[in-house]
């Protein structure tokens, strides 16, 4: 609830600090005393567009500060956290708005800079202001569905979940169709390309292997004579390896005769081993580099084919095998995907049916709640001198394109102010006084199930008196049992119902005109209500009547 309002240099208000409590608070004062200034200042803190005309003449800026005591789970605290602003659950929420005389403005939430957009969102969660020209709150059809759901305690979660599932199924189907359409446009190209690649049957790292093979054969043709000569020196009965082996056999017979002979034998044995290794390597090199014109031509032909394909498909030769698999999979997916579409379409149909069932249950629940709400509002109209008027909650089906998580219904509160007159939106059909009383009737019937727990009514009793004013006071008092209610009033019957009473007065010292607000004690409150009853001159009869109103409240 709103606990404090501090105003500095707003129009006629120089310095003002107000505290508010629970229940019904009334604000009274003579016409022109500045009640509208007070509401304008509150509106500034709640995100209303800044107007430099509100800055008191001769001052550089106007400052309005509001404080709210909120439970830890209040939506306003979640909104603050979402926007990265600090705020302790047990601490008050403080909103400050600064408007400069040159037109600039700043907003602070818990002494942290905030945007005007955030301020407006917070304002909608914290306070509802209803005036005769109000076009927000209960008068805005965009919020009527949520109000009806709250009144009927209607659970929209099943419809929300079903709508999410339907949307997800639609998204999967759309993605599959788009993929198939893209693939189908390329089918002819895919078929030709995959056939060409599969005929070539490229293998991973094949290009590197072929290139190495070709290089080896080209080298082999150049080095064949040298390799053959080297092998001839090593191999055969008269080759170096045969001579080394013969030498080793001779040394083996005489090595025991002297250590040096043994060392010589060991060296020759190593030479035999190394020479044999060289013989094997020369043989392997000869085989690997063997020049075969037919094999070389085949390798070059294959190599040129792979490189041509790689250039054609703008890839590396070593990627051709993977490309063949990828394009083949795309081609195969066209056929498999067309079969898979049937399953996805079936899933969409089932999800839509689930949503329609949940939405139909919502519609039925809303129709039931609408009947009860209409009856509750109707019971409030006659005492408020609106007995010729009718109220109804109109439910209409939305076009399919507008179906959403909250169902398929358009909900709007409508009234008819005279017998036989057509129903229409509250904001367009009702006059100023009627509108405020309709809002009050709705508020009482709805028992204010929304997030905002502070409600402000601006001159809801304009143009009525007597029993109607008493009925208004009684309903405001009843409404204040579940919310903090502040009302600007000219009616003594309404003022007498207040649990706290603020008097707005204008004073003039011969130079400057100022507006001030005073909290009234019991005696001053009786005098103010007597003034409201009798006018400029307060009579004893007016005081007696004021006492009777206060005692009856």
What 71-77 contacts at long range (C-beta under 8 Å, 24+ apart), as own/partner pairs, is 74/125, 74/451, 75/125, 75/451, 76/122, 76/125, 76/126, 76/451
Measured CA to CA, the distance from residue 64 to residue 82 in angstroms comes to 24
Tens digits of residue pLDDT in 22-80: 899 999 888 776 778 888 889 899 888 888 888 988 899 999 999 999 888 888 888 88
Other C-beta atoms within 10 Å of 121: how many?
A: 19
- Residue 432's pLDDT band, with cuts at 50, 70 and 90, is low
475 contact partners, CB below 8 Å, separation of at least 6: 380, 383, 384, 440, 441, 444
For residue 6, the model assigns a pLDDT of: 93
- Residue 221's pLDDT band, with cuts at 50, 70 and 90, is low
CATH topology of domain 15-49+127-159+356-552: Rossmann fold (3.40.50)
Q: Is the pLDDT of residue 403 over 90?
A: yes
**What is the Rg, in whole angstroms, of the alpha carbon atoms belonging to the chain?**
47
**Apex CA 473: angle with CA 468 and CA 478, to 5°?**
125
For residue 393, the model assigns a pLDDT of: 94
**Per-residue three-class SS string for 460-478:** CCCCCCHHHHHHHHHHHHH
For residue 552, the model assigns a pLDDT of: 82
Q: Is the pLDDT of residue 166 over 90?
A: yes
What pTM does this model have? 0.60
Q: Is the pLDDT of residue 179 over 90?
A: no
Report the pLDDT averaged over residues 268-296. 77
For residue 177, the model assigns a pLDDT of: 84
For residue 447, the model assigns a pLDDT of: 63
For residue 164, the model assigns a pLDDT of: 96
* Weakest mean pLDDT among 11-20, 227-236, 534-543: 227-236
Share of the chain above pLDDT 90, in %: 24
For residue 232, the model assigns a pLDDT of: 66
- Domains of the chain, residue spans: 15-49+127-159+356-552, 187-334
For residue 154, the model assigns a pLDDT of: 92
Measured CA to CA, the distance from residue 55 to residue 501 in angstroms comes to 27
Report the pLDDT averaged over residues 127-141. 66
For residue 356, the model assigns a pLDDT of: 96
For residue 461, the model assigns a pLDDT of: 77
**Range from 217-231, 288-302, 327-341, 485-499 that averages highest in pLDDT:** 485-499
For residue 337, the model assigns a pLDDT of: 66
Measured CA to CA, the distance from residue 126 to residue 135 in angstroms comes to 17
For residue 395, the model assigns a pLDDT of: 95
Measured CA to CA, the distance from residue 488 to residue 129 in angstroms comes to 11
CA distances from 338 to 183, 343, 344 (A): 11, 10, 10
For residue 207, the model assigns a pLDDT of: 83
Measured CA to CA, the distance from residue 329 to residue 333 in angstroms comes to 6
Report the pLDDT averaged over residues 456-480. 83
Measured CA to CA, the distance from residue 262 to residue 265 in angstroms comes to 5
Centroid of chain to Cα 356: 25
Is the separation of the CB atoms in 13 and 34 below 8 Å?
A: yes
Please, what is the average pLDDT of the chain? Answer: 84
Report the pLDDT averaged over residues 436-440. 78
**Range from 326-340, 395-409, 414-428, 447-461 that averages highest in pLDDT:** 395-409
Measured CA to CA, the distance from residue 387 to residue 406 in angstroms comes to 34
Tens digits of residue pLDDT in 410-430: 999 998 888 888 888 876 766
Tokens of 172: 């999967």
Tens digits of residue pLDDT in 367-388: 999 999 999 999 888 888 888 8
* Weakest mean pLDDT among 146-150, 178-182, 271-275, 549-553: 178-182
For residue 135, the model assigns a pLDDT of: 44
Centroid of chain to Cα 104: 30
Tens digits of residue pLDDT in 76-107: 888 888 888 877 777 889 999 999 998 888 99
Chain length of the chain: 553
**Apex CA 92: angle with CA 91 and CA 93, to 5°?**
120
């Amino acid at each position: 609830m709103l606990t404090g309002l501090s105003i500095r240099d707003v129009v006629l208000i120089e310095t003002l600090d107000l505290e508010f409590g629970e229940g019904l608070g009334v604000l009274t004062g003579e016409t022109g005393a500045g009640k509208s200034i007070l509401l304008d200042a509150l509106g500034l803190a709640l995100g209303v567009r800044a107007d430099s005309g509100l800055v008191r003449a001769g001052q550089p800026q106007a400052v309005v500060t509001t404080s709210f005591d909120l439970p830890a789970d209040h939506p306003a605290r979640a909104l603050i956290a979402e926007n990265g602003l600090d705020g302790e659950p047990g601490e008050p929420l403080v909103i400050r708005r600064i408007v400069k005389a040159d037109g600039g403005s700043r907003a602070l939430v818990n002494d942290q800079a905030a945007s005007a957009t955030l301020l407006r969102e917070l304002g909608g969660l914290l306070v509802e202001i209803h005036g005769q020209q109000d076009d927000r709150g209960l008068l805005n059809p965009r919020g009527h569905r949520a109000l009806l759901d709250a009144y009927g305690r209607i659970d929209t979660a099943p419809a929300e979940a079903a709508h999410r599932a339907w949307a997800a199924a639609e998204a999967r189907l759309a993605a599959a169709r788009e993929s198939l359409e893209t693939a189908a446009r390329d089918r002819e190209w895919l078929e030709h390309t995959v056939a060409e690649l599969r005929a070539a049957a490229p293998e991973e790292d094949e290009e590197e292997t072929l290139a190495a093979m070709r290089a080896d054969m080209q080298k082999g043709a150049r080095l064949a004579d040298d390799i053959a000569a080297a092998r001839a020196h090593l191999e055969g009965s008269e080759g170096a390896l045969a001579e080394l082996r013969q030498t080793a056999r001779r040394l083996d017979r005489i090595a025991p005769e002297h250590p040096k002979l043994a060392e010589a034998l060991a060296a020759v044995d190593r030479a035999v081993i190394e020479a044999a290794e060289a013989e094997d390597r020369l043989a392997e090199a000869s085989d690997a580099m063997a020049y075969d014109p037919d094999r070389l031509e085949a390798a070059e032909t294959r190599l040129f084919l792979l490189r041509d394909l790689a250039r054609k498909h703008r890839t590396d030769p070593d990627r051709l095998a993977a490309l063949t698999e990828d394009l083949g999979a795309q081609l195969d997916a066209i056929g498999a995907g067309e079969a898979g579409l049937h399953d996805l379409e079936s899933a969409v149909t089932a999800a839509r049916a689930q949503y329609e069932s949940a939405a139909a249950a919502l519609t039925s629940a809303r129709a039931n709640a609408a009947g009860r709400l209409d009856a509750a509002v109707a019971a409030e109209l006659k005492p408020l001198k609106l007995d010729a008027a009718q109220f109804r909650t109109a439910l209409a089906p939305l076009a399919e394109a507008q179906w959403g998580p909250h169902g398929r219904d358009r909900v709007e509160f409508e009234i008819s102010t005279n017998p036989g007159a057509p129903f229409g939106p509250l904001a367009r059909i009702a006059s100023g006084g009627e509108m405020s009383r309709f809002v009050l009737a709705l508020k009482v019937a709805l028992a204010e199930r929304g997030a905002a727990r502070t409600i402000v009514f601006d001159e809801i009793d304009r143009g009525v008196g007597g029993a109607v004013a008493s009925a208004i006071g009684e309903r405001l008092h009843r409404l204040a049992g579940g919310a903090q209610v502040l009302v600007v009033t000219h009616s003594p019957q309404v003022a007498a119902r207040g649990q706290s009473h603020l008097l707005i007065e204008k004073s003039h010292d011969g130079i400057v005109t100022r507006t001030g607000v005073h909290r009234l004690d019991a005696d001053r409150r009786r005098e103010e209500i007597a003034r409201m009853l009798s006018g400029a001159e307060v009579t004893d009869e007016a005081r007696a009547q004021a006492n009777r109103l206060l005692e009856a409240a």
